[in-house]
Chain A
Protein backbone atom coordinates (compact mmCIF):
# COMPACT_ATOMS: atom_id res chain seq x y z
CA UNK A 1 0.00 0.00 0.00
CA UNK A 2 1.42 3.39 -0.94
CA UNK A 3 1.61 6.27 1.50
CA UNK A 4 -0.95 8.37 -0.34
CA UNK A 5 -3.58 5.62 -0.08
CA UNK A 6 -2.96 5.27 3.65
CA UNK A 7 -3.08 9.03 4.04
CA UNK A 8 -6.48 9.26 2.38
CA UNK A 9 -7.70 6.48 4.63
CA UNK A 10 -6.61 8.11 7.91
CA UNK A 11 -7.23 11.78 7.05
CA UNK A 12 -10.15 13.07 9.12
CA UNK A 13 -12.67 15.05 7.09
CA UNK A 14 -12.23 18.26 9.10
CA UNK A 15 -8.55 18.60 8.17
CA UNK A 16 -7.23 20.03 4.91
CA UNK A 17 -4.38 17.53 4.60
CA UNK A 18 -2.18 15.17 6.61
CA UNK A 19 0.31 17.93 7.41
CA UNK A 20 -2.40 20.04 9.05
CA UNK A 21 -3.77 17.01 10.88
CA UNK A 22 -0.33 16.06 12.23
CA UNK A 23 0.51 19.59 13.30
CA UNK A 24 -2.84 19.87 15.08
CA UNK A 25 -2.20 16.61 16.93
CA UNK A 26 1.21 17.85 18.07
CA UNK A 27 -0.20 21.21 19.11
CA UNK A 28 -3.03 19.58 21.07
CA UNK A 29 -0.64 17.18 22.79
CA UNK A 30 1.59 20.07 23.82
CA UNK A 31 -1.38 21.98 25.22
CA UNK A 32 -2.08 18.93 27.38
CA UNK A 33 1.57 18.74 28.42
CA UNK A 34 1.49 22.43 29.41
CA UNK A 35 -1.35 21.60 31.83
CA UNK A 36 0.83 18.74 33.11
CA UNK A 37 3.72 21.18 33.63
CA UNK A 38 1.42 23.29 35.81
CA UNK A 39 0.06 20.17 37.57
CA UNK A 40 3.53 19.06 38.65
CA UNK A 41 4.50 22.74 39.01
CA UNK A 42 2.19 23.11 42.01
CA UNK A 43 4.00 20.27 43.76
CA UNK A 44 7.41 21.68 42.85
CA UNK A 45 6.26 25.02 44.29
CA UNK A 46 5.18 23.37 47.57
CA UNK A 47 8.52 21.55 47.66
CA UNK A 48 10.52 24.76 47.14
CA UNK A 49 8.64 26.65 49.85
CA UNK A 50 9.04 23.91 52.48
CA UNK A 51 12.63 23.24 51.49
CA UNK A 52 13.34 26.93 52.01
CA UNK A 53 11.50 27.07 55.35
CA UNK A 54 12.83 23.79 56.80
CA UNK A 55 16.10 23.30 54.94
CA UNK A 56 17.92 21.39 57.71
CA UNK A 57 15.10 18.87 58.16
CA UNK A 58 14.83 18.43 54.38
CA UNK A 59 18.57 17.89 53.98
CA UNK A 60 18.65 15.37 56.86
CA UNK A 61 15.61 13.48 55.51
CA UNK A 62 17.00 13.46 51.97
CA UNK A 63 20.33 12.05 53.21
CA UNK A 64 18.56 8.88 54.43
CA UNK A 65 17.48 7.97 50.87
CA UNK A 66 19.75 5.56 49.00
CA UNK A 67 21.11 7.63 46.07
CA UNK A 68 22.29 4.49 44.27
CA UNK A 69 18.74 3.40 43.37
CA UNK A 70 17.71 6.90 42.32
CA UNK A 71 20.75 7.18 40.03
CA UNK A 72 20.14 3.73 38.51
CA UNK A 73 16.50 4.64 37.95
CA UNK A 74 17.50 7.88 36.23
CA UNK A 75 19.69 5.89 33.84
CA UNK A 76 16.92 3.32 33.26
CA UNK A 77 14.42 6.06 32.43
CA UNK A 78 16.87 7.79 30.06
CA UNK A 79 17.34 4.42 28.30
CA UNK A 80 13.56 4.09 27.97
CA UNK A 81 13.41 7.58 26.45
CA UNK A 82 15.99 6.49 23.87
CA UNK A 83 14.00 3.35 22.98
CA UNK A 84 10.82 5.46 22.75
CA UNK A 85 12.56 7.95 20.42
CA UNK A 86 13.75 5.00 18.33
CA UNK A 87 10.20 3.61 18.25
CA UNK A 88 8.96 6.91 16.78
CA UNK A 89 11.87 6.85 14.35
CA UNK A 90 11.02 3.27 13.26
CA UNK A 91 7.38 4.25 12.81
CA UNK A 92 8.39 7.20 10.62
CA UNK A 93 10.41 4.85 8.40
CA UNK A 94 7.63 2.23 8.37
CA UNK A 95 9.73 -0.47 10.05
CA UNK A 96 6.98 -2.38 11.81
CA UNK A 97 9.10 -5.04 13.53
CA UNK A 98 11.55 -2.49 14.89
CA UNK A 99 8.63 -0.34 16.06
CA UNK A 100 7.09 -3.22 18.04
CA UNK A 101 10.51 -4.22 19.42
CA UNK A 102 11.32 -0.69 20.63
CA UNK A 103 7.86 -0.27 22.19
CA UNK A 104 8.28 -3.58 24.05
CA UNK A 105 11.76 -2.49 25.20
CA UNK A 106 10.28 0.77 26.46
CA UNK A 107 7.72 -1.14 28.54
CA UNK A 108 10.44 -3.44 29.92
CA UNK A 109 12.62 -0.48 30.95
CA UNK A 110 9.59 1.29 32.43
CA UNK A 111 8.79 -1.85 34.46
CA UNK A 112 12.38 -1.95 35.69
CA UNK A 113 11.98 1.64 36.85
CA UNK A 114 8.77 0.85 38.74
CA UNK A 115 10.31 -2.32 40.20
CA UNK A 116 13.22 -0.32 41.63
CA UNK A 117 10.77 2.33 42.84
CA UNK A 118 8.77 -0.39 44.63
CA UNK A 119 11.98 -1.61 46.30
CA UNK A 120 12.69 1.94 47.45
CA UNK A 121 9.14 2.34 48.80
CA UNK A 122 9.52 -0.99 50.63
CA UNK A 123 12.72 0.28 52.27
CA UNK A 124 10.87 3.44 53.35
CA UNK A 125 8.16 1.28 54.96
CA UNK A 126 10.84 -0.75 56.77
CA UNK A 127 12.49 2.41 58.09
CA UNK A 128 9.14 3.87 59.22
CA UNK A 129 9.71 6.79 56.87
CA UNK A 130 6.18 6.67 55.44
CA UNK A 131 4.14 9.64 56.72
CA UNK A 132 1.33 8.54 59.00
CA UNK A 133 0.80 7.12 62.50
CA UNK A 134 3.94 4.91 62.32
CA UNK A 135 6.23 7.66 61.07
CA UNK A 136 9.49 7.76 62.97
CA UNK A 137 12.66 9.63 62.04
CA UNK A 138 15.82 8.90 63.99
CA UNK A 139 18.19 11.88 64.06
CA UNK A 140 21.71 10.45 63.76
CA UNK A 141 24.50 12.31 65.63
CA UNK A 142 26.38 13.06 62.37
CA UNK A 143 23.24 14.72 60.99
CA UNK A 144 23.14 17.23 63.84
CA UNK A 145 26.78 18.15 63.13
CA UNK A 146 25.78 19.63 59.78
CA UNK A 147 22.10 20.44 60.24
CA UNK A 148 21.21 22.15 63.49
CA UNK A 149 17.48 22.63 63.23
CA UNK A 150 16.21 19.11 62.48
CA UNK A 151 12.59 18.64 63.48
CA UNK A 152 10.93 15.23 63.14
CA UNK A 153 7.61 16.78 62.08
CA UNK A 154 9.38 18.74 59.32
CA UNK A 155 11.16 15.61 58.01
CA UNK A 156 7.68 14.11 57.69
CA UNK A 157 6.77 16.99 55.35
CA UNK A 158 9.77 16.03 53.20
CA UNK A 159 8.64 12.42 52.99
CA UNK A 160 5.04 13.47 52.27
CA UNK A 161 6.31 15.45 49.28
CA UNK A 162 8.65 12.58 48.34
CA UNK A 163 5.76 10.09 48.19
CA UNK A 164 3.31 12.44 46.49
CA UNK A 165 5.77 13.57 43.82
CA UNK A 166 7.31 10.16 43.06
CA UNK A 167 3.84 8.57 43.38
CA UNK A 168 2.28 10.97 40.89
CA UNK A 169 5.24 10.35 38.59
CA UNK A 170 4.80 6.56 38.94
CA UNK A 171 1.06 6.93 38.22
CA UNK A 172 1.97 8.68 34.99
CA UNK A 173 4.22 5.77 34.09
CA UNK A 174 1.42 3.27 34.70
CA UNK A 175 -0.79 5.33 32.35
CA UNK A 176 2.14 5.24 29.90
CA UNK A 177 2.17 1.42 30.06
CA UNK A 178 -1.50 1.36 29.03
CA UNK A 179 -0.74 3.66 26.09
CA UNK A 180 2.28 1.55 25.06
CA UNK A 181 0.25 -1.69 25.14
CA UNK A 182 -2.35 0.00 22.94
CA UNK A 183 0.40 1.11 20.50
CA UNK A 184 1.94 -2.38 20.40
CA UNK A 185 -1.43 -3.97 19.53
CA UNK A 186 -2.17 -1.30 16.92
CA UNK A 187 1.28 -1.55 15.33
CA UNK A 188 1.09 -5.35 15.17
CA UNK A 189 -2.22 -4.93 13.34
CA UNK A 190 -0.40 -2.65 10.89
CA UNK A 191 -2.34 0.51 11.76
CA UNK A 192 0.70 2.77 11.35
CA UNK A 193 2.65 3.77 8.27
CA UNK A 194 5.19 6.47 7.38
CA UNK A 195 2.18 8.59 6.38
CA UNK A 196 0.32 8.05 9.65
CA UNK A 197 1.98 7.46 13.00
CA UNK A 198 0.71 10.40 15.07
CA UNK A 199 -0.39 8.16 17.99
CA UNK A 200 3.18 6.78 18.33
CA UNK A 201 4.58 10.29 18.21
CA UNK A 202 2.09 11.66 20.77
CA UNK A 203 2.69 8.81 23.25
CA UNK A 204 6.40 9.49 22.70
CA UNK A 205 5.90 13.11 23.75
CA UNK A 206 4.06 11.96 26.87
CA UNK A 207 6.78 9.44 27.74
CA UNK A 208 9.57 12.01 27.32
CA UNK A 209 7.62 14.46 29.48
CA UNK A 210 7.46 11.88 32.27
CA UNK A 211 11.23 11.42 31.84
CA UNK A 212 11.76 15.19 32.25
CA UNK A 213 9.77 15.18 35.50
CA UNK A 214 12.11 12.51 36.85
CA UNK A 215 15.17 14.49 35.64
CA UNK A 216 14.03 17.17 38.14
CA UNK A 217 12.85 14.85 40.91
CA UNK A 218 16.22 13.07 41.14
CA UNK A 219 18.39 16.08 42.17
CA UNK A 220 15.60 17.72 44.17
CA UNK A 221 14.69 14.70 46.32
CA UNK A 222 17.90 12.65 46.43
CA UNK A 223 20.69 15.20 46.32
CA UNK A 224 19.66 18.09 48.59
CA UNK A 225 22.88 18.17 50.62
CA UNK A 226 25.18 15.22 50.05
CA UNK A 227 28.61 16.76 50.44
CA UNK A 228 29.07 15.96 54.15
Chain B
Protein backbone atom coordinates (compact mmCIF):
# COMPACT_ATOMS: atom_id res chain seq x y z
CA UNK B 1 0.00 0.00 0.00
CA UNK B 2 1.18 3.47 -0.79
CA UNK B 3 0.51 4.96 2.61
CA UNK B 4 2.90 5.69 5.36
CA UNK B 5 3.52 2.93 7.89
CA UNK B 6 3.42 4.42 11.38
CA UNK B 7 6.00 3.19 13.87
CA UNK B 8 4.64 1.25 16.88
CA UNK B 9 6.56 3.75 19.04
CA UNK B 10 4.15 6.48 17.94
CA UNK B 11 1.19 4.20 18.73
CA UNK B 12 2.50 3.53 22.22
CA UNK B 13 3.20 7.25 22.79
CA UNK B 14 -0.36 8.13 21.69
CA UNK B 15 -1.72 5.33 23.89
CA UNK B 16 0.16 6.66 26.95
CA UNK B 17 -0.96 10.23 26.20
CA UNK B 18 -4.59 9.01 26.03
CA UNK B 19 -4.25 7.30 29.42
CA UNK B 20 -2.67 10.42 30.97
CA UNK B 21 -5.45 12.64 29.59
CA UNK B 22 -8.08 10.23 30.96
CA UNK B 23 -6.51 10.52 34.42
CA UNK B 24 -6.26 14.27 33.98
CA UNK B 25 -9.92 14.72 33.02
CA UNK B 26 -10.95 12.72 36.09
CA UNK B 27 -8.56 14.55 38.44
CA UNK B 28 -9.59 18.00 37.23
CA UNK B 29 -13.29 17.08 37.58
CA UNK B 30 -12.69 16.75 41.34
CA UNK B 31 -11.36 20.32 41.62
CA UNK B 32 -13.84 23.18 41.64
CA UNK B 33 -12.98 25.49 38.74
CA UNK B 34 -16.47 26.91 38.38
CA UNK B 35 -17.45 27.41 34.74
CA UNK B 36 -14.01 26.19 33.63
CA UNK B 37 -14.81 22.59 34.65
CA UNK B 38 -16.90 21.68 31.59
CA UNK B 39 -14.55 23.70 29.36
CA UNK B 40 -11.49 21.73 30.53
CA UNK B 41 -13.38 18.43 30.08
CA UNK B 42 -14.29 19.42 26.50
CA UNK B 43 -10.76 20.56 25.62
CA UNK B 44 -9.26 17.30 26.96
CA UNK B 45 -11.83 15.18 25.07
CA UNK B 46 -11.01 17.17 21.91
CA UNK B 47 -7.27 16.57 22.31
CA UNK B 48 -7.90 12.85 22.90
CA UNK B 49 -10.17 12.60 19.84
CA UNK B 50 -7.61 14.44 17.73
CA UNK B 51 -4.83 12.05 18.81
CA UNK B 52 -6.97 9.02 17.90
CA UNK B 53 -8.05 10.54 14.56
CA UNK B 54 -4.58 11.72 13.47
CA UNK B 55 -2.49 8.73 14.54
CA UNK B 56 -4.63 5.62 15.21
CA UNK B 57 -6.86 6.42 12.23
CA UNK B 58 -3.88 7.56 10.09
CA UNK B 59 -5.62 10.76 9.03
CA UNK B 60 -2.33 12.65 9.33
CA UNK B 61 -1.12 10.50 6.40
CA UNK B 62 -4.42 10.34 4.49
CA UNK B 63 -5.28 12.00 1.16
CA UNK B 64 -6.67 15.54 1.18
CA UNK B 65 -10.07 14.28 0.04
CA UNK B 66 -10.41 12.21 3.23
CA UNK B 67 -9.35 15.15 5.40
CA UNK B 68 -11.91 17.46 3.77
CA UNK B 69 -14.62 14.81 4.28
CA UNK B 70 -13.84 14.54 7.99
CA UNK B 71 -13.65 18.31 8.48
CA UNK B 72 -17.03 18.72 6.73
CA UNK B 73 -18.51 16.09 9.07
CA UNK B 74 -17.38 17.97 12.18
CA UNK B 75 -18.40 21.28 10.58
CA UNK B 76 -22.00 20.07 10.32
CA UNK B 77 -21.86 18.60 13.82
CA UNK B 78 -20.82 22.03 15.14
CA UNK B 79 -23.73 23.63 13.23
CA UNK B 80 -26.12 21.11 14.80
CA UNK B 81 -24.85 21.62 18.35
CA UNK B 82 -23.98 25.31 18.05
CA UNK B 83 -27.21 26.57 16.52
CA UNK B 84 -29.36 24.40 18.80
CA UNK B 85 -27.57 25.66 21.90
CA UNK B 86 -27.57 29.34 20.89
CA UNK B 87 -31.35 28.98 20.63
CA UNK B 88 -31.79 27.47 24.09
CA UNK B 89 -29.20 29.68 25.81
CA UNK B 90 -30.86 32.83 24.44
CA UNK B 91 -34.27 31.88 25.86
CA UNK B 92 -34.61 33.93 29.05
CA UNK B 93 -37.19 31.56 30.56
CA UNK B 94 -35.08 28.43 30.05
CA UNK B 95 -32.14 27.09 32.04
CA UNK B 96 -31.76 25.58 35.49
CA UNK B 97 -31.43 29.04 37.10
CA UNK B 98 -34.09 31.06 35.31
CA UNK B 99 -33.05 34.45 36.69
CA UNK B 100 -34.93 36.41 34.07
CA UNK B 101 -38.13 34.48 34.76
CA UNK B 102 -37.79 35.18 38.50
CA UNK B 103 -37.33 38.91 38.04
CA UNK B 104 -40.16 39.04 35.55
CA UNK B 105 -42.63 37.32 37.86
CA UNK B 106 -43.45 40.24 40.23
CA UNK B 107 -44.21 42.53 37.33
CA UNK B 108 -47.19 40.49 36.24
Which A residues have a C-beta under 8 Å from some C-beta of B? 18-19, 22-23, 26-27, 30-31, 33-34, 37-38, 41-42, 44-45, 48-49, 52-57, 67, 71, 74-75, 78-79, 81-82, 84-86, 89, 92-93, 149, 194-195, 197, 201, 204-205, 208-209, 211-212, 215-216, 218-220, 223, 225-228
CB-nearest residue of chain A relative to B48?
A: A215
CB-nearest residue of chain B relative to A206?
A: B57
The answer to whether B8 touches A149 (Cβ under 8 A) is no
B75, chain A: closest CB distance, angstroms: 10
Given A53-B96, A211-B52, A74-B22 contact (CB < 8 Å): yes
Which B residues have a C-beta under 8 Å from some C-beta of A? 1-3, 5-6, 8, 11-12, 14-15, 18-19, 22, 25-26, 29-33, 37, 41-42, 44-45, 48-49, 52-53, 55-58, 62-63, 65-66, 69-70, 72-74, 76-77, 80-81, 84-85, 88-89, 94-97
Q: B49 is contacted by which of A38, A84, A86, A215 (Cβ under 8 Å)?
A: A215
The answer to whether B56 touches A19 (Cβ under 8 A) is no
In the bound complex, how far is the Cα of B84 from the Cα of A44, in angstroms? 11
CB-nearest residue of chain A relative to B5?
A: A92
The answer to whether A85 touches B85 (Cβ under 8 A) is no
In the bound complex, how far is the Cα of B6 from the Cα of A86, in angstroms? 10
CB-nearest residue of chain B relative to A29?
A: B66
In the bound complex, how far is the Cα of B77 from the Cα of A12, in angstroms? 34
* Neighbouring B residues of A93 by C-beta, 8 Å: 5
The answer to whether A78 touches B22 (Cβ under 8 A) is yes
Q: B73 is contacted by which of A18, A37, A81, A197 (Cβ under 8 Å)?
A: A37
Main secondary structure of the interface of A (DSSP, over half): helix
The answer to whether B11 touches A86 (Cβ under 8 A) is yes
Inter-chain CB contacts under 8 Å: number:
148
In the bound complex, how far is the Cα of B29 from the Cα of A67, in angstroms? 11
* Neighbouring A residues of B41 by C-beta, 8 Å: 219-220, 223
The answer to whether B57 touches A205 (Cβ under 8 A) is yes
CB-nearest residue of chain A relative to B40?
A: A219
* Neighbouring B residues of A54 by C-beta, 8 Å: 96
